[in-house]
Amino acid sequence: MVLLAGISPASDLVGLWRGVGIPSGHRLDGVLENLRWTGKRFHPDFRADGLLFQWRPDSLVPIEPSFLPIRLAIRIAPFGRTFVARTVFPYLQNMLRARGTTASAKLRMVDGEETAAMVYDKQIVDYYRRIDDHEVAGMMCVEGDERRYFFRLRKVEPSFRDGVA
């Protein structure tokens, strides 16, 4: 099963990927970065951690997306870019922590082409396209919402301490 042109889940896609938003005018622009979003992690069993946040310098916390429904997150996005949100969010992470993987990697059609996708929270799908051997572009789509949130993921070398708190 090939997830992206030239990327298979057992080799290139599996692992930790650091993320950064691509400003596009979406209401979520800058929110994830303000809250110390780190990226995503793909596991060999096609499961994934869709939202990883920095907790301590060497610890990542996977967040359960259903604890804060995406439509609510989009509505309150301006607050997510504030100093207050950045300060309070680390204290909420234990409550929002995922107890297992929160997403799955699948093949999905987008714009008439089959591509890798991460499906989570039954209403969010992230689609991926290869940029180069170490980087992919992502597009988050929310069911019933025409707007798209864009981001980049860069593969983290295995030497990085990617411990999950």
On whether residue 162 sits in a domain, the answer given is no
On whether residue 145 sits in a domain, the answer given is yes
* Interval 54-101: pLDDT, tens: 877 778 999 998 887 888 889 999 999 999 999 999 989 989 999 999
On whether residue 4 sits in a domain, the answer given is no
Mean pLDDT split into 10-residue runs, the chain, 165 residues: 41 84 95 95 90 85 87 92 95 91 85 84 85 90 90 82 50
pLDDT at site 159:
56
On whether residue 163 sits in a domain, the answer given is no
pLDDT at site 163:
54
What is the span of the domain harbouring residue 139? 9-155
Question: What domain count does the chain have?
Answer: 1
pLDDT at site 125:
92
On whether residue 52 sits in a domain, the answer given is yes
Q: Encode the chain in three state secondary structure.
A: CCCECCECHHHHHCEEEEEEEECCCCCCCCHHHHCCEEEEEECCCCEEEEEEEEEECCEEEEECHHHCCHHHHHHCHHHHCCHHHHHHHHHHHHHHECCCCCEEEEEEEECCEEEEEEEECCCEEEEEEEEECCEEEEEEEECCCCCEEEEEEEECCCCCCCCEC
On whether residue 35 sits in a domain, the answer given is yes
On whether residue 1 sits in a domain, the answer given is no
Q: What is the CATH number of the domain that holds 32?
A: 2.40.128.580
On whether residue 31 sits in a domain, the answer given is yes
